[in-house]
Amino acid sequence: MTREEYRQMRRQKEKERRRKERAAWEAARGPMDLPFFLLTMMLLVIGLIMVLSASFPSAQASASYNHDPLYFFKRQAAFAVLGVMGMYMVSKINYERFRGLAKLGLMVSGTLLILVLIPGVGITLNGSTRWLGIPGSSLTFQPSEVAKLGVIVYFASSISKKREKMVTFREGFLPHIIPLMILTGLTVLEPHLSGAILIFGMGAAMMVVGGIHWGWIAAGVTGLAGGLYAMLFTPLLEKIGYNASRIQSWKDPWWDVQDKSWQISQSIMTVGSGGFLGVGLGKSRQKFMFLPEESNDYIFAVVFEELGLVGGTLIMGLFAALILRGFWLALHAKDRFGSLLIVGVTTQIALQTFLNIAVVTNLIPSTGISLPFFSYGGTALAMQLVEIGIVLSVSRQMPAPSGG
């Protein structure tokens, strides 16, 4: 047999293997999970409406946006359409194929986070260098968004293979905590504290679900408690570039309402002014140049003002339903890899939602974290929808419930 004949034989076998894999996927594939999909679309639509309502005063007032009141809404809607298309396409892919991208995704994530820190490469906005530009366009993206997905896929692939080895230090704990700490540390250096919290929180949750030894869980909880104390009651955050005035503003939102605590004091007033039923959709007063970041990190304050406690609670209920449905899907996934993928995505949504609403209501200090499906940010929204597509892909292969 000549070398060329051997290569042709190998190519033919590879084609046959892929054909059988595709046939098995088609045979096992069912419909996507409708409740999870509908909850996502409901949150997405409501989020777009709130971006329009919250952003039109600042967009109309700014020459940078050509005084176009629909500027932010049109961009967000465009990315929402792209994201939904990406979600649909990803949901049609056999999620087992993501295993082959696990290591590459982690390496790309680390490389992008390093590029952000190189002077002249990373883009600085509001004192933080968190963005990279997309060549040939004016668009930017946060590498931390890529890192979140990279951690989810890599950890799901690695943990699902190790199984009982996860309780060991050398083969279970160490190979996961090292890359997790590296990515978290690179994100902290930007500084991007909220992104670091999300990346570390997702990875830690997946390690816990994966079966690490309880001793490391106890050590992690103790370390977390100590870290929170150090961040809130020592100068640690100030040393890594986190403004100490944010801690003071959290402790006393009214200590410097003309400057340092303006943002959180305005957020509290925005939330409180909505009352029980709200002032009405589109009728917020605080979004008229009083509340900073009204269409981004603090958009949920506008939700409270316009829709009141009732509307805000209903939206939080939708988030809770989505999160609970996600964990239910994780429990019923076909295999360990699929289950861990869903745990990673759902944990990210849960953490991000809780932290954003906690900041808006001054439960925790400001961290600059966005609200999934609501906050303005096209690339972040598109990435979130792609991650939802991964969950839907796993849901397509869930075993059918047995009849009673």
Q: What is the structure's pLDDT at 394?
A: 95
For residues 270 and 284, what is the distance between their CA atoms, to the nearest angstrom?
Answer: 8
Report the distance separating Cα 219 and Cα 234, nearest Å: 21
Let me know if residue 370 belongs to a domain: yes
pLDDT of 400 > 70? The answer is: no
Residues 391, 246: Cα–Cα separation, whole Å: 36
- In angstroms, the CA 397 to CA 326 distance is 15
Structural domain ending residue among the three candidates 214, 242, 270: 242
Beta strand extents in 126-259 (DSSP E only) = 128-133, 140-141
Give the domain-ending residue among 209, 242, 275.
242
Indicate whether 9 belongs to any domain: no
Query: What is the DSSP-derived secondary structure letter of residue 366?
Result: -
Same domain assignment for residues 230 and 175:
yes
Distances, alpha carbon 382 to alpha carbons 286, 295, 327, 388, in Å:
28, 17, 22, 10
* Total domains present in the chain: 2
**Inside any domain, residue 266:** yes
pTM: 0.89
pLDDT digits (tens, 9 = 90+) for 374-396: 999 888 999 999 999 999 999 99
Judge if 49 and 116 occupy the same domain: no
- Do 53 and 100 lie in one domain? The reply is no
Q: What pLDDT is recorded for position 404?
A: 40
d(CA 351, CA 342): 14
In a domain, 186, yes or no: yes
- Look at the block and give the residue holding tokens 């008229």: 288
Range of the domain at 168: 93-242
CA distances from 79 to 49, 298, 382 (A): 14, 20, 6
Check pLDDT > 60 for residue 402.
no
Q: What is the rounded average pLDDT of the residues 356-363?
A: 93
Q: What is the mean pLDDT of residues 265-270?
A: 94
Give yes or no: residues 74 and 112 share one domain. no
Same domain, 280 and 369: yes
Are 359 and 233 contained in the same domain? no
270 with 296, same domain: the answer is yes
32 vs 229: CA distance, rounded Å: 43
Residue 256 included in any domain: no
Instruction: Judge if 305 and 219 occupy the same domain.
Output: no
Q: Are residues 73 and 124 in the same domain?
A: no
Cis ω on the peptide bond leading into residue 191 (within 30° of 0)?
yes
Q: What are the tens digits of pLDDT across the range 78-100? A: 999 999 999 999 999 999 999 99
DSSP letters, 227-261, are HHHHHHHSTHHHHTT--HHHHHHHH-TTTTTTTTT
Given 242, 274, 290, which residue is the final one in a domain?
242
Q: Residue holding tokens 């200590």?
A: 255
Q: What per-residue confidence (pLDDT) applies to 21?
A: 63
If asked whether residues 266 and 307 sit together in one domain, one would say yes
Tens of pLDDT, residue by residue over 277-315, are 999 999 999 999 899 999 999 999 999 999 999 999 999
pLDDT at 90: 96
Q: Are residues 98 and 228 in the same domain?
A: yes
pLDDT value for 231: 67
pLDDT of the residue at 345: 97
Query: Looking at the domain assignment, is residue 77 inside a domain?
Result: yes
**C-beta separation of 51 from 380 below 8 A:** no
Range of weakest confidence among 38-47, 109-118, 122-131, 229-238:
229-238
Question: By the 8 A CB rule, do 105 and 149 touch?
Answer: yes
- Asked whether residue 23 is domain-assigned, the answer is no
In a domain, 201, yes or no: yes
161-175, 237-251, 318-332, 374-388: which has the minimum mean pLDDT?
237-251
Which tens digits make up the pLDDT trace of 142-192? Answer: 899 999 999 999 999 999 998 889 999 988 999 999 999 999 999 988 878
Please indicate, yes or no, whether residues 216 and 193 belong to a single structural domain of this protein: yes
